[in-house]
Amino acid sequence: MSYLPNLRHLRYLVALHDHQSFSRAAAACFVSQSTLSAGIRELELALGVAVAERNKRSVRIAPIGHHLAARARRLLRDAEDLVALGRDAAQPMSGIVQMGVLPTIAPYLLPRVIRALGQRFPRLRLVLREDKTRHLLDQLADGRLDLVLMAFPYDTPGMESFMLFDDAYRYVSACGSQALAPGLRAFDPGDVADGDRLLLLEHDHCLHSHALPALQRAAETEHASFSSTSLHTLVAMVAEGMGSTFLPDLAINGGIIDGSDVVVRPLGDDANARSIGLCWRRNAARADSYRALGAFLSEWAAENVKPWTAGRD
């Protein structure tokens, strides 16, 4: 009977692949460096191949090591799903859920809903990680996350999604801006005058990639400037008269413009809202629990997440 590597050794391999360092990999696995090194050697003897090239100063993952680490990651994810399936059957909506969330959502939604979530599911513990959409989805696919709270539309092959609520965009400019003169109708990209700057987030940020016609047209104008990774930074720049921007209702109602000398106006009728939703791996062991979580969040949002209306800014 051939030798089968144990899960502990596979975890060591994945950690070494991720950290490219025996010391950092050992720290991530909460073992000593000698223990991790011994485990990697045992795995190499069992597989009959070296997974890493070592010297006194560095470690380099061998080409075969990359392939083995990818397979090991999938095996570990399946093993974790097996345990999660049993636990979820015994105690639904309990235990730890690793959830990724966008920085354009987390500070404006989670502080409001966490208390209600804890009251509804007291045995459920959310461990949160903020990052950009693509990074979060990569971690979800690798099994490093269970769920992602994100904004759609976004291509999510191999995933299941649950829509929670829509989040419309508004045009935000400094008080006294020429583009926001009294009586101006809903914003149109043509309203941006010569010399005005449209401040947007980075190209790979979800607020730029969504199918929002007004944003897409405006982003293509000669006035567009992709200049920030933070909505707070955009608001500060707008308040100082450095340009104008687009913000979602969730951030506006969450207080991001409070105390700032800015004005909010609606977009045209063809401006689509982004949709906030949950995303998880298709056929995930705890998919029923994720749907139950989505149903609760959707019900909560219907009562607590309201669109911005004129006069509230």
Residue among 157, 159, 158, 145 at smallest CA distance from 102: 145
Question: Please, what's the largest Cα pairwise distance for the chain?
Answer: 81
On the CB side of 269, CA atoms within 13 Å amount to 0
pLDDT, averaged in runs of 10, over the chain (313 residues): 78 90 91 91 88 81 89 84 68 84 93 92 91 92 91 91 92 69 55 64 56 54 60 87 86 89 76 87 89 95 87 53
CB 235 within 8 A of CB 158: no
CA–CA distances in Å: residue 76 to residues 13, 44, 62, 134, 142: 11, 18, 21, 22, 10
Q: What confidence score (pLDDT) does residue 233 get?
A: 86
Q: What confidence score (pLDDT) does residue 159 get?
A: 95
Distance separating alpha carbons of residues 185 and 266, to the nearest angstrom: 9
Q: What confidence score (pLDDT) does residue 263 get?
A: 85
Q: What confidence score (pLDDT) does residue 273 get?
A: 79
Q: What confidence score (pLDDT) does residue 88 get?
A: 64
Q: What confidence score (pLDDT) does residue 310 get?
A: 65
Task: At 248, list the tokens.
Answer: 């979602």
